[in-house]
Amino acid sequence: MGWYRVRGYPHFDQPISEAKATALVTDPARVARHSFWPFVAYERVEQRFDWDTRQRKDPKRRPVAYASHVDSHVYAYYAVLLSEGYERELTRRGLGDVVLAYRTTGKSNVEFAKEAFERIRQTGACVALCRDLKSYFDTIDHGLLKRRWCTVLGEPRLPDDHYAVYRSLTTYAKVDRNWMHSHFNVPRKGRRRSRRICSPEQFRAIVRQSGSTRAGEPRGIIVNRDKFGIPQGSPISALLSNVYLLELDEELNKVVSGVDGFYRRYCDDILIVCPPCHKLSVERKLGDLLDAHKLKLNRDKSEDIVFTVSSRLVALHPTRGSHFPMQYLGFSFDGEHVRIRPSSISRFYRKMRKRVWRSRLSAARHVSNKKVFRGVLYERYTHLGGKNFVSYAYRSARSMNDNGIRRQLRRHWDKLDEFLKRPLPRGGLMGHARVTPPATACSTGHADLSTSNDGSAVTSPAQTPPA
């Protein structure tokens, strides 16, 4: 069923074979008695940039927790079991096209966005309500989740094995990753990444006995004592985020379809398109349903886009009346043209620059081989690679039938060349001193390092840019 997967990160237990994992997860009695390890938790930080003001925005922070090796197999297997019942419920309730994320549909966000934009073009004058749920995973109510879980299984109460999985995800324990690294010699990278963090004796003596928190600093095991919130990052969390909103999806889809609109949900991103005259009634119904599910909207990420028809379809801001493209699933749509969001383009170039500079610093530190491996850079950041952001953009342009998307990345080759020639930042990366490597001969699969007038390392790509 595709649930077994070896995970390479270090945790409190060791990886087990597929045979041992199968013997565990297929035995409900063993699962009901299974003792789950604490999650390892950290905060994923993503830098953001406001293109309107040309200023850096507050970084986006997302809490992530990953389960132990054995526990991950349990979660993955029960996700498969629960998914079968969830898909049956979606079919029975006519929601197969409504819920988009975390399902095997054979489509990607490109097809989902294209469908939404085409529906808006066909509708003409309408209003698009783009809503985002605030801290969704952290606010899922445990009692409601349990009832939805029973609904999907078709049972009046959770079986003992399902209840054990449910309890491990609601009253879950976690250990901060930074705290873990400070107490144990755990490599972040390298060949021994998947080794056990500590012995069971060390776990009991150090982790379990270290207390919970002091002065806001994570210490050892932290247990969720609230009646809401599940960890974001386990193999079953994404599915549960869909299961939790089963009743909301059904009710809201009925209301929106009843006014000749359409409703789509991609995890915590909600899109409602309806005639302007029904906007207020739809918003009231959405508010009532969110209150019933104990959820709130993120007002900073919620937008209303008004589409009007004059000589063509135009997207406008509801109060200012100025052109205001709709943002959806990584794309922007102004009523006529589709583009990849500028923030995504900017993030791609930041990653390119960081990778190039790391390659140059690494090449400079190796006395015997002062070369930048251009093949890796081409594969990741140019049209020569098979699966990267550029190929994704080109595929999006073909799917949307809009070459403007392709033109957004017309300078990607020049950008790569620029980063290869630009002087390294003072102090380098991660505190490295500025490096001026000597010139070396070029070889197949590498880029030749030479020295520019200012003494910095430069590289001349051997390939030709796209036409």
Q: What is the DSSP letter of 428?
A: -
Q: Which residue would you say has higher pLDDT here, 307 or 61?
A: 307
Which of these, 203, 237, 247, 253, lies nearest to 13 by C-alpha position?
A: 203
Residue range 449-462: mean pLDDT, rounded: 38
Residue 441 scores a pLDDT above 50: no
Contact, 84 vs 92, CB < 8 A? no
pLDDT digits (tens, 9 = 90+) for 7-48: 988 899 999 999 999 999 999 999 999 999 999 999 888 776
Residue range 419-432: mean pLDDT, rounded: 66
Which of these, 464, 422, 460, 421, lies nearest to 441 by C-alpha position?
A: 460
Residue 465 scores a pLDDT above 70: no
Q: Write down the residue that tokens 């043209």 correspond to.
A: 337
Residue range 102-107: mean pLDDT, rounded: 93
pLDDT number for residue 370: 53
- Phi, psi (rounded to 5 degrees) for 139: -120, 10
Q: Which two tokens stand for residue 456?
A: 């910095």
Torsion of CA 75, 79, 80, 86, to 10 degrees: 170
pLDDT digits (tens, 9 = 90+) for 125-140: 999 999 999 999 999 9
Which of these, 408, 279, 325, lies nearest to 117 by C-alpha position?
A: 325
pLDDT number for residue 362: 80
Total-model pTM: 0.84
- Phi, psi (rounded to 5 degrees) for 317: -70, 135
pLDDT number for residue 428: 54
Q: Which residue would you say has higher pLDDT here, 386 or 439?
A: 386
Gyration radius (Cα) of the chain, Å? 26
Residue 461 CB contacts under 8 Å (≥ 6 apart), including other chains: 374, 378, 413, 416, 417, 420, 447
Taking the C-alpha atoms of residue 175 and residue 375, their distance in angstroms, rounded to an integer, is 39
Taking the C-alpha atoms of residue 218 and residue 178, their distance in angstroms, rounded to an integer, is 9
Q: Which two tokens stand for residue 60?
A: 């986006």
Q: How many C-beta atoms lie closer than 10 Å to residue 16's C-beta?
A: 16
Identify the band that residue 369 occupies on the pLDDT scale cut at 50, 70 and 90. Answer: low
Q: Which two tokens stand for residue 59?
A: 């970084």
pLDDT digits (tens, 9 = 90+) for 309-362: 988 999 998 877 778 899 999 999 999 999 999 889 988 998 999 999 888 888
Q: Which residue would you say has higher pLDDT here, 195 or 454?
A: 195
Average pLDDT of the chain to the nearest whole number: 86
Contact, 270 vs 199, CB < 8 A? no
Give the domain ranges of the chain: 1-96+141-229, 99-139+251-336, 341-421
pLDDT digits (tens, 9 = 90+) for 254-311: 999 999 999 999 999 999 999 999 999 999 999 999 999 999 999 888 999 999 998 8
Residue 113 scores a pLDDT above 60: yes
Greatest distance between any 2 Cα atoms in the chain:
76
Asked: is 99-139+251-336 a CATH 3.30.2420 domain? The reply is: no
pLDDT digits (tens, 9 = 90+) for 170-195: 999 999 988 888 888 776 654 455 57
Identify the band that residue 449 occupies on the pLDDT scale cut at 50, 70 and 90. Answer: very low
